[in-house]
């Protein structure tokens, strides 16, 4: 499993999205009763995803753990996502505590809609690893994640987040102006339809992994091009990125199904062949005249 993530207080979609893409997730909430219904909520998410044709495997790919102590939740986390109420004082206190408990290189992201991230991080240590990361709703369908950095956030830490989200088929974009991007109901419905069509195309490959979703990123706050606006892929396109050509064999099964870049990504995260689900021991580059 990649990326040891923590969600602080329950944001029902964010923690499900992390597990959906194979991350090990720890959840902390001050409300014990909220933790008791986590599995029930995850089951509801799965049922909804199945009904919408957005989920082909029977369960989320990552492990979800519920923690009753904040220290236990964050002590070894690589990424921490806060989703408490929109109260600046509450967030300030929490971020101060978090930076005293977590690893010195852990990335800490707020999910605030309106709070200024510099003010949120005012009393925190190591401000260079703090940023605002707002997953657009519904997170299972919308690929964009809105980022706002503090005055101290370093490019290196932004890059760590970008790489984490890219593996989930998501794309960072910086907030334009003071107002957050809010998608309309029509835009949301369009994205859901595009995601469903994407999965239907991928189902032509038996056992195609659910977490290999091509990025649908965009620049700024401009709505990205939808799938039906893109050129139709053919049998020679990479089954993962659907952009580059298939140019390598996956061994030992010898399936020609991905481009070399995507094949390397599969090996790096110890994933299997998207056709037969056999382990990949070697990649053989194929050159055509």
pLDDT in tens, 218-251: 333 333 333 333 333 455 777 777 788 889 999 9
Beta bridge partners of 80: 6, 108
Contact 214, 169 (CB under 8 A): yes
Which CATH number is 231-289 given? 3.30.40.10
Give residue 22's pLDDT.
82
pLDDT exceeds cutoff 60 at 96: yes
pLDDT exceeds cutoff 70 at 3: no
CA 277 to chain centre: 22
pLDDT exceeds cutoff 70 at 2: no
pLDDT in tens, 53-70: 887 666 776 778 888 789
Q: 9 pLDDT band (50/70/90 cuts)?
A: low
Segment 157-174 mean pLDDT: 91
| 151/176 Cα distance (integer angstroms) | 16
pLDDT in tens, 13-63: 566 888 888 888 888 888 878 878 888 888 888 888 888 888 766 677 677
Q: pTM of the entire structure?
A: 0.65
Give residue 13's pLDDT.
57
What's the whole-number average pLDDT of the chain?
80
**Domain residues of the chain, as ranges?**
4-174, 231-289
Q: 202 pLDDT band (50/70/90 cuts)?
A: low
| 108/12 Cα distance (integer angstroms) | 18
- What are the residue ranges of helices labelled H in the chain? 12-20, 32-36, 38-51, 70-74, 88-101, 117-120, 155-166, 185-202, 260-268
Q: 204 pLDDT band (50/70/90 cuts)?
A: low
Q: Which CATH class is domain 4-174?
A: alpha beta
| 98/95 Cα distance (integer angstroms) | 5
pLDDT in tens, 107-136: 999 999 999 999 999 999 999 999 999 998
Contact 49, 17 (CB under 8 A): no
Going by their DSSP bridges, the two strands 248-251 and 255-258 should be labelled as: antiparallel
Q: Between 229 and 254, where is the model more confident? A: 254
């Amino acid at each position: 499993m990649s990326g040891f993530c923590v969600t602080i207080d329950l944001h029902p979609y964010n923690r499900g999205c992390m597990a959906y893409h194979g991350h090990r997730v720890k959840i902390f909430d001050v409300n014990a009763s909220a933790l008791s219904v986590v599995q029930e909520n995850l089951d509801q998410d799965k049922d909804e995803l199945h009904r919408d044709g957005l989920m082909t495997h029977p369960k989320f790919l990552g492990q979800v753990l519920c923690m009753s102590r904040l220290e236990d939740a964050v002590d070894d986390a690589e990424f921490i996502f806060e989703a408490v109420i929109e109260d600046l004082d509450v967030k300030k206190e929490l971020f101060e505590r978090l930076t005293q408990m977590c690893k010195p290189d852990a990335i800490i992201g707020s999910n605030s809609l309106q709070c200024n991230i510099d003010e949120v991080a005012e009393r925190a240590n190591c401000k260079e690893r703090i940023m605002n990361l707002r997953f657009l709703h519904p997170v299972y369908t919308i690929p964009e994640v809105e980022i706002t950095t503090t005055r101290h956030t370093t490019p290196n830490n932004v890059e760590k987040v970008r790489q984490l989200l890219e593996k989930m088929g998501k794309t960072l974009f910086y907030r334009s102006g003071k107002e957050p991007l809010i998608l309309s109901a029509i835009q949301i419905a369009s994205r859901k339809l595009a995601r469903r069509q994407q999965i239907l195309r991928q189902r032509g490959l038996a056992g195609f992994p659910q977490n290999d979703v091509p990025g649908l990123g965009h620049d700024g706050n401009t709505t990205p091009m939808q799938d039906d606006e893109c050129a139709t892929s053919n049998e020679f396109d990479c089954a993962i990125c659907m952009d580059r050509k298939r140019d390598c064999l996956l061994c030992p099964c010898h399936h020609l199904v991905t481009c070399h870049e995507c094949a390397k990504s599969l090996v790096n995260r110890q994933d299997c062949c998207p056709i037969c689900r056999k382990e990949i021991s070697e990649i053989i580059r194929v050159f055509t005249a």
